[in-house]
Structure 1
Amino acid sequence: MSEQVSKILNVVYTHNDFYILEKPAGLNFHSEEGPGFVVLAEQQLSQKLYGVHRLDKVTSGLIILARNKASAAAFTVMFTEHAINKFYLAISDAKPKKKQGWIKGDMAKSRRGSFKLLTSTLNPAITRFYSLSYKPGFRGYILKPYSGKTHQLRVALKSVGAAIFGDAMYSGTPSNRTYLHAYALSFLWQGEQIQLTLLPDSGDEYLALIKHQDFQAWQSPWQLDW
Structure 2
Amino acid sequence: MYQIIADETDFIVIAKSHNVHFHSQDGSAGVMARLEQDLHIKLFSVHRLDTLTSGLLLFAKSSLAAAEFTQLFTEHKIQKYYVALAKGKPKKKQGSITGDMAKSRRSMYKLMRTMVNPAQTQFFSQSIAEGLRLYLLKPLSGKTHQLRVALASIGVPILGDQLYGGEESDRGYLHAFSLHFIFRGKAYQYINQPVSGTHFTAPEAVKQLQIWSDPETLDWPKQK
TM class, shorter-length: over 0.9
Q: Distance in 2 between matches of 1:211 and 1:159?
A: 26
Q: Distance in 2 between matches of 1:26 and 1:203?
A: 12
Cα offset, 1:70, TM superposition: 0.6
**1:210 partnered with 2:205:** yes
**1:120 partnered with 2:114:** yes
**1:10 partnered with 2:7:** no
Give the length in aligned residue pairs.
Answer: 218
Amino acid at match of 1:200: P
- Map of 2:83 onto structure 1: 89
1:115-151 deviation per Cα after TM superposition (whole angstroms, max 9, x unaligned): 0000001000000000000111100000000000000
Which structure's residues are more often helix, by fraction?
Answer: 1
Would you identify which runs of 4 or more consecutive aligned residues in structure 1 move more than 2 Å? 209-212, 214-217
Q: Distance in 1 between matches of 2:183 and 2:31?
A: 24
- Secondary structure at the aligned position of 2:175 is classed as strand
- Map of 1:188 onto structure 2: 182
Q: Distance in 2 between matches of 1:78 and 1:154?
A: 23
**1:48 partnered with 2:75:** no
The alignment's TM-score, normalised by the length of structure 2, stands at: 0.95
Alignment partner of 2:20 out of 9, 27, 31 = 27
**1:107 partnered with 2:123:** no
Cα offset, 1:191, TM superposition: 1.4
Report the aligned-residue RMSD: 1.0
Cα offset, 1:211, TM superposition: 3.1
Amino acid at match of 1:60: S
Cα offset, 1:216, TM superposition: 3.2
Report matched runs for 1:35-184 at 5 Å.
35-184=29-178
Q: Distance in 2 between matches of 1:135 and 1:116?
A: 28
Contact 2:170 2:198 in 1 (8 A): no
Q: Distance in 1 between matches of 2:120 and 2:6?
A: 28
- Secondary structure at the aligned position of 2:52 is classed as coil
Q: Distance in 2 between matches of 1:210 and 1:185?
A: 20
Unaligned stretches of 5+ residues in structure 2: none
Q: Distance in 2 between matches of 1:80 and 1:215?
A: 28
Contact 2:3 2:14 in 1 (8 A): yes
Contact 2:134 2:205 in 1 (8 A): no
Amino acid at match of 2:41: Q
Amino acid at match of 2:62: N
Q: Distance in 1 between matches of 2:84 and 2:132?
A: 11
Amino acid at match of 1:40: R
The alignment's TM-score, normalised by the length of structure 1, stands at: 0.94
Unaligned stretches of 5+ residues in structure 1: none
Cα offset, 1:94, TM superposition: 1.6
Amino acid at match of 1:126: Q
